[in-house]
Structure 1
Amino acid sequence: MQKKLKLWDATMLVMGSMIGSGIFIVSSDMMRNLGSGYWLIVVWVITGIMTVAAAISYGELSAMFPKAGGQYTYITEIFGKMTGFLYGWGLFAVIQTGTIAAVAMAFGKFTAYLIPALNDSAPIFQSGTFRITWVQILAIVVILLLTFINTRGVKNGKLLQNLFTTSKILALLGIILFGFLLIKDSNWTQNMSFGWSGFQNFGREVGNDLVSTGWQPISGVTLLGGIAAAMVGSVFSSVAWENVTFVSGEIENPKKNVVKSMVLGTIVVMVLYMLVNFVYLNALDRDGIAFADKNRPAVAASEVIFGNLGTVIMAVLVMISTFGCINGLVLAGARVFQTMAKDGLFFRSATENNRFDVPEKSLWMQGIWACVLALSGQYGDLLDMISFVIVLFYMITVFGVIYLRIKKPEIVRPYKTWLYPLTPVLYLIIGTAFCVLLIWFKPQYTWPGFLLILLGLPVYWFINRRKIS
């Protein structure tokens, strides 16, 4: 593959893939689980530590295996083809394609703020609870458009990624700046007055709105469960940085630039996320965050900052953010499926590059399945189920750093994990606590996703039936 991506391009891919729609939405559910500005900040700090620690740990593997496929390649090299396939299976079935579908739907929904006719029009088709809307059609059009653009070469995808990522970072910085300069009546003191006391309030549906049913104090193990439940949102908003490892084969000097882009990109994004939540805590009271209209605290805060124009400003910002995020996910994901195909674990035609030196068939396979998920309307439920599995695969990969240090100390390591073994161990401790608490308090977020991944086992055995016999 041609080395067409520089350090700046790789960093933009990291940041652009991370910043989608999550940061504009998830803080509402997080506040309902935590009920305190202190704990909201703590959860984002924990998530930031986890994310950067994982990126630092992945750096060692990216320097050892500087080729396309990234995390799939690391898992396969360390733990064998079956484990690598299960990761790739999950990536194609839900993780990558489901995220593309979810972010594309967020693009469609925020576009409907500017074009109300999209929301107000009758469904194109409806049968029982299943329906096809114009928002879904718009989401599919965006997925297909960005897939097509990326089939025209890495350069096109790179330019689009750099443009939209730079735009949304500047826009976020603007929101952060004005979120403190233009607020006359700050809610910061009130939100922080709850101190280290935790509260939960899941609310109830009244029409199309979620309203408060009263805050209930929580402490001890129950508070830990609230933290784990809140982290589902913050973790979902902070994944996809590893997408840059998928395109290692197209990055200049990947042994150095992949780890630099991951560490720099994750640090900058997590700082931005923290500052955005400071804006929420400054502009809105506790109920304003927890029960923002349609779980969109960013829109509520923007209306306080900019008045009636705030809705339009935030809708445009989210459209820019989600468009760039989809592009990064589309660009990177197809490289994994191409690498799997070369290993005999995916459709053989996915191995081929077109005349623009990109895996066109792999891109279209990914794009079409993402469209199916968007059309089904099940992407949200699937992503809720798979969040637990995403963290498990992160943990498996981070553990691989320690495993290789013990089993194969002689391997040349162009880059070594900073503060080893503290960094990977810290991630594994936090990740384990998160997973255990989710299993305990929110089993609906755990076992369905785990079963979905295990469904890949018969597929793997079917693919390898001749080799086994």
Structure 2
Amino acid sequence: MSHTNFKPTLRLLDATMIVAGSMIGSGIFIVSADITRNVGSAGWLIAVWLITGFMTITAALSYGELSAMFPKAGGQYVYLKEAYNPLVGFLYGWSFFSVIQTATIAAVAVAFAKFAAYIFPSISEDKVAVDLGILAISPAQLISILVIVILTYINTRGIKSGKTIQTTFTLTKLLSLFGLILFGILAFRQDLWNSTWTNAWSLQSRTPSGVLGEYTTFAALGAIAAAMVGSIFSSDSWNNVTFIAGEIKNPQRNIGLSLFLGTLIVTVIYVLTNLVYLSVLPLNEIAGAEKDRVGVTAAQVIFGGAGTLIIALMIMVSTFGCNNGLILAGARVYYTMAKDGLFFKKAGSLNNNDVPGYALWFQCVFACAWSLSGKYGQLLDMISFVVVGFYMLTIAGIFILRKQRPDADRPYKAFGYPLLPVIYILMGLSFCILLIIFKPEFTWPGLIITLLGIPIYYGIRKRV
């Protein structure tokens, strides 16, 4: 038996936990190493996280207007379709399925497996479980696939199963991060802090052995953009709550409020966590952390010998909860696309548990395929460029819809309009341009995948 309507069962707390839980994965424990190598100083490390936080909160406040206008499943796909045309909406949906969501699910699952290997060395990413000649599959990759399959199955059992995992794991990791911050404050080293902040605003390239040198003005902008790839990836997926609007109680109010609360909570935690890193580790050790695992290095200083185990457990909880939110929300986009005739027809149906079961399994298969690549860093770089591009288009859609539909019902209007949305668009545009100039090898793959959606779209339309 196939059902036709979603049931609104999620409260404000549940929605906020989806926002925060989908954002916090493993990035906060890893990417500060690369950021430090790019910007080289304490002030700019914190500035990168603050700039990213400002952009994220600004975008979330802007999305509140769109979510109140279109409180139904599909979120950003629906906003782009309504503001522009079905092609733009499809390009987002296509990119979302082929790169943005599925590759993020894969990257987070691989991170879960990598840190699980601290507790269970036999599943290390450095071992080979299956050798296919052209492809060697590690135990960590097999574990990542297992996690994706298990979470997908749980979410096919109904929204209550998914929300229970999401709320439980997100509250656990928020408390764990606050615990890390508290113990980090207790381990505060005044001499190190004074030394680290002596030359806090010198923008320079840094290696574990020391500073390589300061940038020219233009190169400095490129370094900031390159550094923000990691912070943006770590702060992404906040918009996932908009995809499940049809299952949220009082969506006109609760989606916008959950977006603001969730992004604010995560931004504060991210900045405080990086201040803890700076209070217990010299910059060279942050930049040169083994396999970029700054969280592990800091935890060893804060907790001693038990630090590695503590941080590994924290990251396992964090990534497991993060992936649950991504898997839960992502399938609703494919469901809405299928209803528009732009995705596999089966994805447009709900199962006996009132969730899009087929859409969940389609997503699962593609995410598992991505997991076999195991290239966390490359996935990270590829996703950030595409994601920010679509965020800019979506926020620009607010201006378009205000002009085209001035009398439309807007229970909530974008805070700071038009100034804050314009600032976000300008900052996002600067980020994307600088990334194209300074990191082209990590931007064109995502762009090509997005543009491949154009012939696919017209091919689908011919069949309809």
1:302-353 deviations in Å (ceiling 9; x for gaps): 0000001000000000000000000000000000000000000000001111
In structure 1, the residue matched to 2:300 is 303
In structure 2, the residue matched to 1:196 is 201
In structure 2, the residue matched to 1:328 is 325
Counterpart residue identity of residue 342, structure 2: L
Which of 56, 77, 96 matches 2:101?
96
In structure 1, the residue matched to 2:119 is 114
Counterpart residue identity of residue 111, structure 2: A
The answer (yes or no) to whether the contact 1:386–1:450 under 8 Å persists in 2 is: no
The answer (yes or no) to whether the contact 1:402–1:424 under 8 Å persists in 2 is: no
Counterpart residue identity of residue 94, structure 2: W
Report the CA distance between 1:386 and its aligned residue. Answer: 2.7
Report the CA distance between 1:382 and its aligned residue. Answer: 3.7
Q: Which moved more, 1:364-373 or 1:175-184?
A: 175-184
Counterpart residue identity of residue 396, structure 1: L
Counterpart residue identity of residue 451, structure 2: L
- Counterparts of 1:232 and 1:98, CA distance in 2: 15
The answer (yes or no) to whether the contact 1:35–1:215 under 8 Å persists in 2 is: no
In structure 1, the residue matched to 2:222 is 225
Counterpart residue identity of residue 166, structure 2: Q
The answer (yes or no) to whether the contact 1:373–1:379 under 8 Å persists in 2 is: no
1:31 lines up with 2:36 in the alignment: yes
In structure 2, the residue matched to 1:151 is 156
- Counterparts of 1:378 and 1:330, CA distance in 2: 20
In structure 2, the residue matched to 1:387 is 384
The answer (yes or no) to whether the contact 2:230–2:380 under 8 Å persists in 1 is: no
Report the CA distance between 1:397 and its aligned residue. Answer: 0.3
- Counterparts of 1:127 and 1:326, CA distance in 2: 28
- Counterparts of 2:210 and 2:301, CA distance in 1: 24
Which of 20, 24, 27 matches 1:19?
24
Uncovered stretches (5+) of structure 1, i.e. residues with no partner: 204-210
Counterpart residue identity of residue 159, structure 2: V
1:401 lines up with 2:406 in the alignment: no
Report the CA distance between 1:354 and its aligned residue. Answer: 0.9
The answer (yes or no) to whether the contact 1:186–1:282 under 8 Å persists in 2 is: no
- Counterparts of 1:128 and 1:217, CA distance in 2: 45
Partner of 1:200, secondary structure, is strand
Which of 212, 227, 237 matches 2:209?
212
- Counterparts of 2:123 and 2:409, CA distance in 1: 56
1:254-299 deviations in Å (ceiling 9; x for gaps): 0010000000100010000000000011010011100001101111
Report the CA distance between 1:435 and its aligned residue. Answer: 1.1
Report the CA distance between 1:411 and its aligned residue. Answer: 1.3
1:375-397 deviations in Å (ceiling 9; x for gaps): 23356424422311100000000
Q: Could you tell me the TM-score, scaled by structure 2's length?
A: 0.96
Q: Which moved more, 1:174-183 or 1:16-25?
A: 174-183
In structure 1, the residue matched to 2:254 is 257
The answer (yes or no) to whether the contact 1:95–1:383 under 8 Å persists in 2 is: no
Q: Which moved more, 1:130-139 or 1:320-329?
A: 130-139
- Counterparts of 2:400 and 2:116, CA distance in 1: 47
- Counterparts of 1:383 and 1:94, CA distance in 2: 10
Which of 62, 65, 86 matches 1:60?
65
1:319 lines up with 2:316 in the alignment: yes
- Counterparts of 1:64 and 1:400, CA distance in 2: 12
- Counterparts of 1:367 and 1:77, CA distance in 2: 28
1:168-206 deviations in Å (ceiling 9; x for gaps): 0000000001101123465222221123211103x5xxx
Partner of 2:117, secondary structure, is helix
In structure 2, relative to structure 1, the CA distance for the partners of 1:390 and 1:153 (3 Å cut) is same
In structure 2, the residue matched to 1:207 is none
1:243 lines up with 2:248 in the alignment: no
Match runs of 1:318-467 below 5 Å: 318-378=315-375, 380-466=377-463
- Counterparts of 2:350 and 2:321, CA distance in 1: 24
Q: Which moved more, 1:165-174 or 1:76-85?
A: 76-85
Report the CA distance between 1:448 and its aligned residue. Answer: 2.0
Counterpart residue identity of residue 439, structure 1: I
Q: Which moved more, 1:168-177 or 1:441-450?
A: 441-450
In structure 2, relative to structure 1, the CA distance for the partners of 1:193 and 1:121 (3 Å cut) is closer
Partner of 1:215, secondary structure, is strand
Counterpart residue identity of residue 10, structure 1: A
In structure 2, the residue matched to 1:291 is 288
Give aligned pairs, total: 459
In structure 2, relative to structure 1, the CA distance for the partners of 1:307 and 1:378 (3 Å cut) is closer
Report the CA distance between 1:424 and its aligned residue. Answer: 0.4
Over 4 Å off, 4+ runs: none
Counterpart residue identity of residue 243, structure 1: N
Uncovered stretches (5+) of structure 2, i.e. residues with no partner: 1-5
Report the CA distance between 1:108 and its aligned residue. Answer: 0.2
Q: Could you tell me the TM-score, scaled by structure 1's length?
A: 0.95
Partner of 2:372, secondary structure, is helix
- Output the aligned Cα RMSD: 1.4
Counterpart residue identity of residue 374, structure 1: S
Among all aligned residue pairs of Structure 1 and Structure 2, give the percentage whose two residues are the same amino acid.
54
1:448-468 deviations in Å (ceiling 9; x for gaps): 21111001111111100145x
Partner of 1:376, secondary structure, is coil
The answer (yes or no) to whether the contact 2:59–2:424 under 8 Å persists in 1 is: yes
- Counterparts of 1:265 and 1:80, CA distance in 2: 30
Report the CA distance between 1:126 and its aligned residue. Answer: 2.5
- Counterparts of 2:188 and 2:330, CA distance in 1: 41
1:270 lines up with 2:275 in the alignment: no
